[in-house]
Amino acid sequence: MSQQPNVFMQLAPLILIFVIFYLVMILPMRRRQKRHQEMLAKLTRGDRIVTTGGIFGTVVDVQGDVLQVRVADNVKLQVARSAVAGLAGDAANVNFGSGE
């Protein structure tokens, strides 16, 4: 009579790999995305920002999902709120290729 291997012991390595993957990859990405969404929601007039295209400017007006950004004297751009990569002070930490 042969013994069948324990099913849990066969699945344990797979479960362990999934847990490690979640803790190392998915959880930090979710936290970063949540912080970015909070930052976008809190944007106000006078904030120095950098866009995903690398344009630095100052928020002049906020109208829903559209920001008016001054990039130079008498030069203003309308930018989608989602195109903001971060605050200009945090530009060293901005990941332009993230798609966030």
pLDDT digits (tens, 9 = 90+) for 49-98: 999 999 999 999 999 999 999 999 999 999 999 999 999 876 555 565 54
Task: Examine the domain organization and report whether 31 and 56 are in the same domain.
Answer: no
pLDDT digits (tens, 9 = 90+) for 8-43: 888 989 999 999 999 999 999 999 999 999 999 999
Among residues of the chain, what percentage have pLDDT more than 70? 85
Domain count for the chain: 2
What pLDDT sits at residue 99? 47
Q: What is the pTM of this model?
A: 0.70
Residue 54 lies in a domain: yes
- Of the candidates 83, 56, 86, the residue with the CA atom closest to the CA atom of residue 72: 56
Helix (H, G, I), strand (E, B) or coil at 97: coil
pLDDT digits (tens, 9 = 90+) for 80-92: 999 999 998 765 5
What pLDDT sits at residue 100? 43
21 and 27 in contact (C-beta within 8 Å)?
Answer: no
What residue numbers bound the domain in which 74 lies? 44-93
Task: Examine the domain organization and report whether 24 and 60 are in the same domain.
Answer: no
Q: If you count DSSP H runs as helices and E runs as strands, how many of each does the chain have, helices first? A: 2, 5
Residue 21 lies in a domain: yes
List the CATH number of the domain containing 62. Answer: 2.30.30
CA dist 40 to 14, 22, 35, Å?
Answer: 38, 26, 9
Residue 28 lies in a domain: yes
